Structure 1
Amino acid sequence: MTTIVSANLNGIRSAAKKGFFEWIATYSPDFFCVQELKAQAADMTPQFLAPAPYVGHFHYAEKKGYSGVGVYSKRQPDSVRIGFGNDEFDAEGRYVECDFGDLTVISLYCPSGSSSEERQLAKFRFMESFLPHLQSLRDSGREIVICGDWNIAHQEIDLKNWKSNKKNSGFLPEERAWMTRIFDELEFVDVYRKLYPEATGDAYTWWSNRGQAWANNVGWRIDYQIATSGIAATADSASIYKEQRFSDHAPLTIAYR
């Protein structure tokens, strides 16, 4: 059994203070992928870099207090790739790829477009650039699990208030169609949806800090593990951890045989 956790931390220092690493130590997944470090290399403590028995590999944003991703594993990867080859988005610290035998584990943080029209246009540029990279990953023939905050709710059942969000970033028709291409054309698998095709409120992984979104479970499912068909077929179970709050996102765990 291989367990993989994906968690947007909304700041690794903040999440650590809230007990994230203690939870990981108790839970002990084989791999865990984190997004939104909001830290530079100089900010990373020994606990952040290598919480025993894990080793970590990271992609930091050039801008301080922004973005950043990491992959933690219990053994050193065979190879590590930082960034996916796009200068604009590699400067933002959005991609780490680690190979372990026949398996590739990736931590991904897709841009959000909610703050401005400028950022939405950047998100569209990311989508256009990242799709060919996904194609090359698929064509590699390796088994791949991409963990991350994709900042897109794919279907109506993936967010509470879908009707009022049809013109908002994260649920735009263009964004949803792009994800459909990932599943239908590139044949990647949305592993949580494969296991729980009709889950609604239990599936949410992010809640706005505005209003009473958390208290009323007005959430979105924007954190995914998207995998090649071979390893996706071995997925046994998935869970979203909500007993403690480490950030505005909840960790997503999937167990693979």
Structure 2
Amino acid sequence: MRVITFNTQGIEQAADNGFFDWMIQQDADVVCLQNLKAKEYQLDGDRYHPEGYHAYFFDAFEDGFSGVALYTRHLPKAIMTGLGFEQCDFNGRFIQADFDKVSVSSMTVPSGLRSDEAQASKMEYLNLFMGHLKKTLRKRREFIFAGTFNIAHRPIDLSNWYVNQRVSGFLAEEREWIEEVLGEMGYVDAFREINKAERQYTWWPDYNRAWNLNEGARLDYQLTTANLRKTVKDARIYRDQRFSEHAPLTIDYDIDI
């Protein structure tokens, strides 16, 4: 099974930049998109419904804000939207497709870069999402949580990490959160399970210098339940084209969906 996750920063902009032309060549089973900045009714054309894929959307309440989507080659058994708390559901931040052996979600954690209030809201979101992750461990199936977590886990995941320790995305409390998820709770960072290389980033600020010098952060993940650890076969970040400030992350799993 091949899963791609990508933060579009506006699905219409990403389409203009060639994302769907690239996507249909990837032979992915599930494509997880975030930050659509558009509603489902605005995306009813063939451009956003490539042949061979079922498309599912969870809109944000406000126009031009967030929103997530799943594109699946196989018909899911069920689709779930939202997590039952306002920060997620009002802003369209979570959608999940259930298949026979595994559930795959497209999700996003809010950024805290704008202000202290935004950071406090982000930490509240992470604490609420932690509750969902704990409930997930009691279920008798496997899960892949794919999307933008807006946290660089370790120094290897952020350029110039030393001077960014007081910047949202690399704060001690954020790294402690993800360390608990990947440590005590037993979830797996699928990318790092197979790719240990340095300077493997999925986001670069919106200016050419950072992109050209590869000065960025790894903010996009596929976190899986522990039993999927040994199924991870390949992991890569696509940098040959730029569809948004983020890059698509592709993981191949030895799973028959």
| TM-score normalized with structure 2 length | 0.96
Partner SS state of residue 132, structure 1: helix
CA–CA distance in 1 between the matches of 2:22 and 2:171?
35
What residue is the counterpart of 1:90 in the other structure?
89
CA–CA distance in 1 between the matches of 2:155 and 2:137?
27
Contact 1:69 1:96 in 2 (8 A): yes
What residue is the counterpart of 2:154 in the other structure?
155
Computed over aligned residues only, the root mean square deviation of the Cα atoms, in angstroms, reads 1.2
CA–CA distance in 2 between the matches of 1:100 and 1:46?
26
Q: Show the 5 A alignment for 1:128-143.
A: 128-143=127-142
- Which amino acid in 1 is paired with 2:229? A
Contact 1:49 1:55 in 2 (8 A): no
What residue is the counterpart of 1:240 in the other structure?
237
What residue is the counterpart of 1:188 in the other structure?
187
> Number of matched residues?
254
CA–CA distance in 2 between the matches of 1:141 and 1:76?
21
CA–CA distance in 2 between the matches of 1:81 and 1:212?
40
Deviations 1:126-167 (A, max 9, x none): 011010101111211211111100000010100111011100
CA–CA distance in 2 between the matches of 1:226 and 1:77?
20
CA–CA distance in 2 between the matches of 1:239 and 1:211?
22
Please state how far the C-alpha of 1:52 moved relative to its aligned partner.
1.3
- Which amino acid in 1 is paired with 2:149? W
| TM-score normalized with structure 1 length | 0.96
Contact 2:67 2:93 in 1 (8 A): yes
CA–CA distance in 2 between the matches of 1:210 and 1:174?
28
Partner SS state of residue 57, structure 2: strand
CA–CA distance in 2 between the matches of 1:41 and 1:4?
22
Partner SS state of residue 58, structure 1: strand
Q: 1:117 to 1:47 in 2, by over 3 A?
A: farther
Contact 1:83 1:90 in 2 (8 A): yes
Please state how far the C-alpha of 1:45 moved relative to its aligned partner.
2.7
**Stretches (4+) displaced over 2 A:** 45-50
State the percentage of identical aligned residues: 39
Contact 1:108 1:146 in 2 (8 A): yes
Partner SS state of residue 157, structure 1: helix
In structure 1, the gaps of 5 or more residues are: none
CA–CA distance in 1 between the matches of 2:56 and 2:39?
13
Say which of 198, 201, 208 aligns to 1:200: 198
Deviations 1:9-51 (A, max 9, x none): 1110000011111111111211110011010122113336532
Q: Show the 5 A alignment for 1:95-174.
A: 95-174=94-173
Query: Is 2:2 the partner of 1:3?
Result: yes
What residue is the counterpart of 2:41 in the other structure?
42
CA–CA distance in 1 between the matches of 2:82 and 2:46?
23
Contact 1:110 1:149 in 2 (8 A): yes
What residue is the counterpart of 1:65 in the other structure?
64
In structure 2, the gaps of 5 or more residues are: none
Deviations 1:89-116 (A, max 9, x none): 2101100011011210000111100011
Partner SS state of residue 209, structure 2: coil
